[in-house]
Every structure is written in C-alpha cells, then in structure tokens.
Amino acid sequence: MGNNGSTRGARKPSGKSAGSASRKKPADGVSRRALLIGGGAVAAAGTAAVLARDRVKRLWWQVPGVEKPRKPGELDYAGATWVAASEANWRRADRPDDFPVDRVIIHVTQGSLASAVKVFQDPAHQAATHYIVGQDGRVVQMIRELDVAYQAGNRSYNERGVGIEHEGFVDRPKDLTKAMYESSARLTASICARHGIPVDREHIIGHVEVPGTDHTDPGPHWDWDRYMELVRRAATAPTPTPTPSAKASG
C-alpha cells in the first residue's frame, strides 16, 4: 500500500455618483474589474503549474520505463540485517508519498526464522513481511518500508502497514521470549517514529485484527500489555539511525 479558499469582493452601489464620471478606464479600454479577474486567473494558473510541476517531480519514477533509484541492501532500521524477499511477494511503491503508513502489523511465523526467510524468498509463496524478529532478538529486514508487502490479506492494510513476523508458534508461549519482545518493541518504536504512527493499540495491531483475514496470529499468548509498555519505553529512548552498509548473505 488540498484545500481551496476563495474570496468575494463587496458589491458596489448600482447608481452613478457625482464622481463616477471622473474615474478613468485604463488606456487600452480594459476595465479595472477585468484586469483584477484576469490577474487572478493568471495567479491561479501559475499556482496550478507549480503544483503540477512539484507532483511530476515527485512521481517522475512512475513514468513507464523509469524506476526509483534503490541501493541494494539498504536498511530502514539500523539494528537489522538485510536479506531480500522475492519480488513476487511485495510491490514497489514510494510510501508515504503514495500511501500513508499508519499501522504496524504483528505476526507470528508458525515456524523458525530460517524457514520464514526461505518462504519469503520463494516467489510461489506470494506473501512476506518487511521484518522478521528471532527468538534471540535478531532482526532481519526483507522488504523496504517504502514498498508494499503482501502480508495482511487486505489490500488497504498492506498499503498502509509495516509488517513484523516473530519466530515461533502461536500455541507455544515459551517461543515468545524476553529478547524477542524487547527487540521487536525497539523496532516498532522506530517504525512509529519514522512515520508518525501513534503508539497505541489502534495503530499497532495483530494480524488477526485485520478485516477479512483468516489468520489468528499473534495468538492468545501474545502479551499485548507487556509489549505496548516496552514499545512506549523504547519510544522515549534514543533510536538507531539507518545505515545502508549492514548486509547478510541469503
């Protein structure tokens, strides 16, 4: 995954005053009213031209045959390691210019971190999230936050959300480790800071809460109170700055 204002001038009396004959029209015979209206039209046209030029400048890469420049392995979160997902599992975008980012969506992998990486690299899988967090706290980024991950089973939520998978199974509370919670909370706080997302349960949600989904993750053992407290705590602490240099093979 403007406002227009107008003004209206006061109406003049319809009768002629004693001084009306002394008022002169412009030398070329064009009335003052016509000049004012014409000037307004020129100004409006100029404003429209500037807006159009700015839009073209911002969206130039959407012209057929032109792609927005990307640096291979570039990260949005400095604490992550880059492993690219298959291009079949996400869609190129320029968020938040084309879609506002206003959700973090929490998932559980139903498997290991390695198996999640493997399926997200498989073009036949047709799904992936932006990040995976391991039980040991490792963070893997597989899709840029600029782009739309096929993660939620809902197009609008895909376009507006950043997805985080967590290594483990929904029916095994032992999989939800302290290291995972703390690492994921720092990641979520960083995403919220970058995109101006409120740190609350309306904007940080589970996959199960996405309209139309048939998934149940992160499951009944996910401790939302604990997690949100960790996110709020991380949001008040210094966050890592992005670096394009960190990479991983795979």
Alpha-carbon distance of 128 to 121, in angstroms, equals 8
- The two structure tokens encoding residue 148: 């739309």
pLDDT of residue 70: 76
Are the C-beta atoms of 207 and 107 separated by less than 8 Å? yes
pLDDT of residue 59: 53
pLDDT of residue 249: 39
- The two structure tokens encoding residue 97: 């210019």
Q: Which residues contact 230 (CB under 8 A, 6 or more apart)?
A: 181, 182, 185
Q: What is the DSSP letter of 167?
A: S
pLDDT of residue 93: 93
pLDDT of residue 218: 98
Q: What is the DSSP letter of 213?
A: -
pLDDT of residue 22: 42
pLDDT of residue 69: 73
Contacts 24+ apart (CB under 8 A), 141-144: 141/75, 141/76, 141/77, 141/80, 141/81, 141/82, 141/83, 142/82, 142/83, 142/84, 142/85, 142/117, 143/85, 143/89, 143/90, 144/70, 144/74, 144/76
Alpha-carbon distance of 229 to 187, in angstroms, equals 14
pLDDT of residue 40: 52
Task: Going from the first residue of the chain to its last (250 residues), give the mean pLDDT of each consecutive group of 10, the final group possibly shorter.
Answer: 33 41 46 47 55 53 55 93 97 92 98 98 97 98 97 97 98 98 98 98 98 95 98 83 45
